Structure 1
Amino acid sequence: MSPAATLPRSQPMSIALIVGVGDGLSASLARQLAARGHHLVLAARNTDKLADLEAETGATTAAGDAADPAAVCRLFEQVDGIDGDLAVAIYNPSARVRGPLVDLDPAEVRRALDVTAYGAFLVAQAAARRMLAQGHGTILFTGASAGVKGFAQSAPFAMGKFALRGLAQSMARELHPQNIHVGHVVIDGAIRNPGRSEPADKPDSMLDPDAIAETYLALIDQHRSAWSWEIELRPFVERF
């Protein structure tokens, strides 16, 4: 088990921060982390949608735009106000702009890059500063197959996810020797979310969010003598 996962109960509370929370993967992560005893901080642009999850998990919620430095600063001030160590930080947000390259709106492309990559940098930098000070922690990024291969008419998403993957790899090489575990999870396929499921004749053709969350927890639990910096997840029928 990693140091972040084995803090004695006499130590400060273990905090888990999830940025970009909705009702799919991030909700599964929240429930599983709360079941382990973490105090959750759930961040989203609109926290009204988090009322049920907040009540279920006893989480603290924080509203703000992850691509806004001032908002990220306020978020971590809120985290700092909780008596405990920041054991886990997970970054989920991304933005897609589809269409032929020559027709893309530059402003929309910049916004997509801000959400997918720049916001990840801001959150990761703030989390790393705190984890370095306490001597341990885990930072995880939610990636996509677009970060490994660019698809036609999806350049902005590929640009953002390639940047996210590069950030994670660079951070892992810098921070692993300082006892900060950095992981990048490539989600290759559609996620089964509330109101979105696979056809009856194609069972398990979408990723189950609870199953994905279990893999995130397995990354958190890895012994530091055998840390992964990246793992790919896909349904058994997915082509790659």
Structure 2
Amino acid sequence: MGARTFVVVGGTSGLGLAVARLLVEEHRVAVLGDRPEEVAAVAGELGCAGVVCDTSSYDQVREAFAEVIDRYDTVDGVAACASVWAGGDLVDLPPERIRRAVEVNALGTTYVFREALQHLRRQGFGNLVYVGAMAVTRPRPGIPVYRATKSYGQSLVESLAEAQHSNQIKVMEVDPGPMPTRLQERVGDEFLDHVYALPEQVAPEVTRLLLLDPDDLYVSGERVLRADGRW
């Protein structure tokens, strides 16, 4: 199909950045991130478009997608990779961290899906890939809030996938195991897992789904588990 256009939400670090790096070799990419300096650095490094966007703000999400559409006219796929970490016992978590996790992981995901699907439906095709977490497949001690917010995203994917009534627009999910990214670092938590996957090992699965053609087999609602060998 030649070069296509992709939006990577949360594309300035971790898995999102790994996905953007794979896509930018042959396609047009716009990375969205909430920190201007990181967006500028990644856009400069990859030679792609960069848009500052805090996904907890619907207005910013709407404006970011409008900017990409204005620049490229169409969007072939959207990778929803943005997340906020909230690890620790519920009674030990500061209320502001709980609020931020819900704002980004739940509300932000909803806003991204809303805008993405609005544009995909307008053009009649496209792929939406949500990055969930293997932690939602079974309880994992120490991350009740993070797991709950990622479970919200999974539920949203399941409902939206069924609602499309067309294979032209696919809504899918990748659930990776623990990965050493900046999620924990940004809130001062240490990455404690000893067995894990690297973002570069999971990114090819996300890009595979993003690159599915409109006429490929019906896979909307598909969940891809990228286990780290432990579960």
Specify if TM > 0.5: yes
Further displaced range: 158-167 or 23-32: 23-32
> Aligned pair count?
219
Deviations 1:24-50 (A, max 9, x none): 32222112111122x211111113124
Matched position secondary structure for 2:164:
helix
Distance 1:34 1:85 in 2: 16
Q: Give the conservation status (yes or no) of the 8 Å contact 2:178–2:196.
A: yes
Matched letter for residue 34 of structure 1: V
Task: State the Cα deviation string for residues 59-110 of structure 1 (Å, max 9, x = none).
Answer: 1111121011111121112112113311011111212223333344444312
1:89 to 66, 78, 101: 78
Specify every segment of 5 or more residues in structure 1 that has no aligned partner in the other structure, as ranges.
1-5, 197-201
SS of 1:232's equivalent?
strand
SS where residue 225 of structure 1 aligns? Answer: coil
Alignment equivalent of 1:184, drawn from 165, 173, 194: 173
2:191 corresponds to: none
Distance 1:98 1:28 in 2: 23
User: Are residues 1:224 and 2:204 paired?
Assistant: no
Which of the pair has more CA radius of gyration? 1
Q: Which amino acid aligns with 1:239?
A: R
- What's the counterpart of residue 230 of structure 2? 239
The 2-side partners of 1:152 and 1:206 are apart by: 17
Q: Which of 98, 118, 123 does residue 129 from structure 1 map onto?
A: 118
Percent identical pairs in the alignment equals 22
Q: Contact 1:66–1:123 (CA<8 Å) still a contact in 2?
A: yes
Query: Structure 1: which 4+ aligned runs deviate by more than 6 Å?
Result: none
Residue 52 of structure 1: how far off its partner (Å) = 4.2
Partner residue in 2 for 1:22: 12
Could you tell me the TM-score, scaled by structure 1's length? 0.81
Shifted more, 133-142 versus 72-81: the winner is: 72-81
Question: Is this contact kept in 2: 1:147–1:164, CA < 8 A?
Answer: no
Is 1:152 equivalent to 2:130 in the alignment? no
1:191 Cα shift?
Answer: 4.1
SS at match of 1:125: helix
Aligned-residue Cα RMSD (Å) equals: 2.4
Instruction: Please name the residue that 2:101 is paired with.
Output: 112
Give distance in 1, aligned partners of 2:50 and 2:156: 26
Is the CA contact 2:13–2:181 (under 8 Å) kept in the aligned structure 1? no
Pair 1:36-2:26 in alignment: yes
Give, in whole Å, the separation in 2 of the partners of 1:74 and 1:131: 16
Structure 2 segments unaligned to the other structure (5+ residues): 186-193
69, 72, 76: which one aligns with 2:65: 76
Separation (CA, whole Å) in 2 of partners of 1:42 and 1:192: 17
